[in-house]
Structure 1
């Protein structure tokens, strides 16, 4: 039978129906996960150092009377997603117990490596609203976040302290997660740097860890004034408020993590040109920590990159994830034609770029 017959076979049509339904309800994954985070379920199990029953989880959630039926249905779903493990009673009596999996350790609160702040930020109703504006953006153009909230994300954050904290905490937790692989993957690159500016450094977690690991570096955390105003003290790091589109503090090198993907090509070139003015000729460099899309590869990490590209549509003004060729184009436009890509064991890569 030809391919046309195969594509319209009853079995394939039903398979397509089921898969479309699966995509339609994929939000159930993030909402169930968010509820587990808000209820501190992973922390409750972790505190017992072994799998525990629904009754034990429920009693720790609230001093009132939580609905154990709702809890059980959420846990059943998350077990199917391998967020938690399930341990039926060996003798057929007693209660089923629930434990942590390799995934659920990432939703513990207050640990050094946690995705909790990012998960709560990305799944907040204010952060989700722009996703509903994609079709409107296709028809009319414009910025999804602005269509949802009337202003772009940076202005929205400056006007809303609660969202600003949510956003900053989310970005800070990504720095904590990636810093080890950055320090390991670029350990030789930091040795020759005397001063380093973290452009868009948020509250300074990444530059703080870099300086801690390389005490000879004078660190400067550079971000918008309302961001650095809430930044804690990091030894060896000074906080500077400003606008990267206007001017960037001078240093031997500049580092940017998850910054350029927030902006369109024209804006990225402007930022890179300001970077070029701020670092010395010949030896000056920009260290970009960001995604490099590889359309020819089919794996989980690369596939995640294309989801992040849609996230940029939702939250940024013209931002996007880029292929190596697209990185080459904006780097050349900004005056950094020489570069190399260092792959990290995560979604991120290091792009080291030099003056011409």
Structure 2
């Protein structure tokens, strides 16, 4: 797709420009188009991170001893719920490569096999320091995990789809989506209420612990 966009730009140079100027304009336009494409697919990253958290990918990798790395196949075997899909390692590898591009995980290539005929390269992964903020709050020190899951919840997404109503009609986005204020909805949806309360509590705990450390 990017190649098609580039072709459409480079085959239509502006008249009156030198070749160097035309080339620079083409490069600038391609850069802008790629930036626009990143915006188009910007929702992919939080959804992939959400899936990784739900699968236990982040907890599993973060629990490794220092210096230990896992391949996608090894990770699939260690997940809390073992995948029955034979393509799971390949899919996990694609997910983790995206997380690497956002500095959630780190990656390196290693060689496997004992000789030239069996030797191949394989990606292995380890956790970046930011992962610690998305681990389950098992010791009461706080976490951003529940708050992140709250922000990616379908209830929130439905409300966000009504942001235009705020501008056009001055209506509350959540009320436009559900016919009631947000706290009234929380009182009517036990599952969402639990997620909301956990998200607020765990994130506040983490912040307040840091405040107390500083003061």
Q: Please give the TM-score of this superposition, normalised by the length of structure 2.
A: 0.75
Distance 1:18 1:68, change over 3 A: same
Return the alpha-carbon distance in structure 2 between the equivalents of residues 176 and 118 of structure 1.
Answer: 12
**What SS does the aligned partner of 2:207 have?**
helix
Q: 1:98-177, aligned counterparts within 5 Å?
A: 98-111=125-138, 112-177=141-206
Task: Choose which of 45, 52, 59 in structure 2 pairs with 1:36.
Answer: 52
The unaligned stretches of length 5 or more in structure 1 are: 188-356
Correspondence for 1:47: 63
CA shift, 1:90, in A, is 4.9
**Is 1:70 paired with 2:91?**
yes
Q: After TM superposition, give the deviation of residue 142 of structure 1 in Å.
A: 0.6
Q: Report the CA distance between 1:75 and its aligned residue.
A: 0.9
Instruction: Give the alignment's TM-score, normalised by structure 1.
Output: 0.47
Residue in structure 2 matching 1:27, options 20, 23, 43: 43
Aligned match of 2:116: none
User: Is residue 88 from structure 1 mapped to residue 109 from structure 2 by the alignment?
Assistant: yes
What is the DSSP-based 3-state SS (H/G/I as helix, E as strand, rest coil) of the residue aligned with 1:157? helix
Shift in Å, 1:95? 3.7
Which of 77, 89, 106 is 1:59 aligned to? 77
Q: Secondary structure of the equivalent of 2:129?
A: coil
CA offset digits 1:9-37 (Å, max 9, x no partner):
44433322222221222111111111111
Q: Secondary structure at the match of 1:89?
A: strand
Structure with greater helix percent = 2
Q: Determine if contact 1:130/1:144 at 8 Å carries over to the other structure.
A: yes
Aligned residues: 181
How far 1:107 sits from its partner (Å)?
Answer: 1.8
* Partners of 1:119 and 1:39 in 2: CA distance: 15
Q: Is the 8 A contact 1:137 1:143 kept in 2?
A: yes
The equivalent position to 1:18 in structure 2, one of 30, 34, 59, is 34
Listed one character per residue, the Cα deviations across residues 136-170 of structure 1 (whole Å, up to 9, x for unaligned) are 32112111111112111100001111111100000
For 2:32 and 2:122, the matched residues in 1 are separated by: 38
> 2: CA distance between counterparts of 1:63 and 1:37?
15
CA distance in 2, matches of 1:159, 1:174: 23
Q: CA deviation at 1:64?
A: 4.3
CA distance in 2, matches of 1:89, 1:14: 34
Structure 2: gaps spanning 5 or more residues: 1-16, 113-118
Higher strand share: 1
Q: Which of 1 and 2 has higher RCO (CA within 8 Å, sep 6+)?
A: 2
